[in-house]
Amino acid sequence: MSFSAVTPLLQTLSTSDEVTLMSTTTWTRRHIISLADFTNEEYDTVLRTAASFREVLSRRTKKVPTLQGQVVANLFFEPSTRTRSSFELAAKRLSADTLNFTPGSSSLTKGETILDTAKTYLAMGTDLMVIRHREAGVPQAIATEMDRLDSNVGVLNAGDGQHEHPSQALLDLFTICSALDPDYPSFSLLKGKKVAIVGDILHSRVARSNIWSLTASGAEVHLAGPPTLLPKLFEQYTASRDRPSSSLIPHPSPGKLFLHWDLNPALEDADFVMTLRLQKERMTQNLLPSLREYHQQFGITSDRLKLCKPNVKVLHPGPTNRGVEISSELMDDPKISLIPQQVTSGVAVRMALLYLMGSGKA
Ligand code: NCD
């Protein structure tokens, strides 16, 4: 189910005349579960709206009344530091009331089902639910149930198993576009750029969401990792992108996806390098000989970056394991690392998503 909102952002964003970035925004998506069917217009809307909120966050008073009276529930069934805090801060900056759920101290321990927990939050008047779960499909199941109940609730996937993590990929996109043009971080800036995604691709929902957004932008995406962490099944993403727009995945893609079991070809002439954590909590068997050997083969260091474009930038969704997927020295190098900017961008991008999803209900 979808709803339509044409929102005069100028009116809702500012109590003064200070915001001049946008006039109107159209948004028709009720839930954000995956980026597989995101359109280029939606990417651009998110980027432009996030740029407006970045401006709000640079003011002395970093708060707007946009979602006043609305309730945002953060239902994190899996541990999280930055995503959860970022969504909470974003909701508070929009003046929404926030509810935070911790599974260990909830009625889940008394046998309540996840859907019943979600329905409890619905009955309390929740407008937006931000869901993280270790199993793929839980946010979609809750969204389907909310629609079946004919509720107005919007569901945002904050990471489900190995499936997707759309808000992370959108904040990565905003960070990359802002590095290319700080004033106008638009989607088209990525066309022809080379982005390497390195590491534990198999277990990464971040990589899966980034594959959709980055290839849709026209960037070349080069995945690199050992064969145990980058199985050939990832070639199916390239195949599905080549299908006509009437197919199951109706996304037009001018971008290309490449797989490498060696790091060097992925790094050669790269504009951006995204490193990923080895997600041991999702590994069911021993997939690596040792962390030391992994670092030698796939760890990102200043020396390795010499293969890339001279002003290459490095990203990491966090949390990082210093000295494993990325050297400690590189992580702290402000000329190369965009990691702090990713965290900062996260608040503006999540404000944009909550705003766009919540605007139809205001
Ligand atoms: C990622 C996640 O949870 O998928 N982190 C995040 O949301 N910032 C990546 C990870 O856990 O390694």
Buried b (16+ CB within 10 A) or exposed e, 254-271: ebebebbbebeebbeebb
Q: Which two tokens stand for residue 42?
A: 């939606």
Q: What is the longest distance spanned by two Cα atoms in the chain?
A: 59
In 3D, which of 327, 344, 345 has the Cα closest to residue 336?
327
* CA 318 – ligand 1 centroid, Å: 6
Angle at 92 between CA 91 and CA 97, to 5 degrees: 80
Residue 322 confidence (pLDDT): 94
How far apart, in whole angstroms, are the C-alpha atoms of residue 276 and residue 299? 10
For the Cβ of 203 lying below 6 angstroms from any atom of ligand 1, the answer is no
CB of 318 closer than 6 A to ligand 1?
Answer: yes
Q: Looking at residue 288, what is its pLDDT? A: 76
What's the CA gap between 158 and 281, in Å, rounded?
Answer: 18
pLDDT computed for residue 273 by the predictor: 98
Strand pairing category for 5-8 and 24-27: antiparallel
- Where do the structural domains in the chain lie, given as residue ranges? 168-339
Q: Which CATH superfamily is domain 168-339 in?
A: Aspartate/ornithine carbamoyltransferase (3.40.50.1370)
Residue nearest to atom 12 of ligand 1 (CA): 277
From first to last of its 362 residues, what are the pLDDT tens digits of the chain?
334 443 445 344 544 433 334 445 689 999 999 999 999 999 999 999 999 999 999 999 999 999 999 999 999 999 888 999 999 999 999 999 999 988 776 777 677 889 999 999 999 999 999 999 999 999 999 999 999 999 999 999 999 999 999 999 999 999 999 999 999 999 999 999 999 999 999 999 999 999 999 999 999 999 999 999 998 887 766 555 544 443 334 344 545 889 999 999 999 999 999 999 988 776 666 777 788 889 999 999 999 999 999 999 999 999 999 999 999 999 999 999 999 999 999 999 999 999 999 975 54
Q: For residues 309 and 296, what is the distance between their CA atoms, to the nearest angstrom?
A: 21
Question: How close is the Cα of 339 to the center of ligand 1, in Å?
Answer: 13
Give every CB contact of residue 3 below 8 A, 6+ residues apart in sequence: 28, 30, 152, 360
pLDDT of residue 230: 93
Q: Give me ligand 1 centre to Cα 320, in Å.
A: 9
Phi, psi dihedrals of residue 82, rounded to the nearest 5° = -75, -40
Round to whole Å and give the CA distance between 294 and 42.
38
Task: Give the C-alpha separation, 98 to 67, whole Å.
Answer: 11
Atom of ligand 1 nearest to the CA of 83: 7
d(CA 347, CA 224): 29
Q: How far is the CA of 292 from the centre of ligand 1 (A)?
A: 22
Q: Which of 80, 168, 276, 283 to mutate to test the pocket of ligand 1 (most atoms within 8 A of CB)?
A: 168
Q: State if residue 277 touches ligand 1 by the CB under 6 angstroms criterion.
A: yes
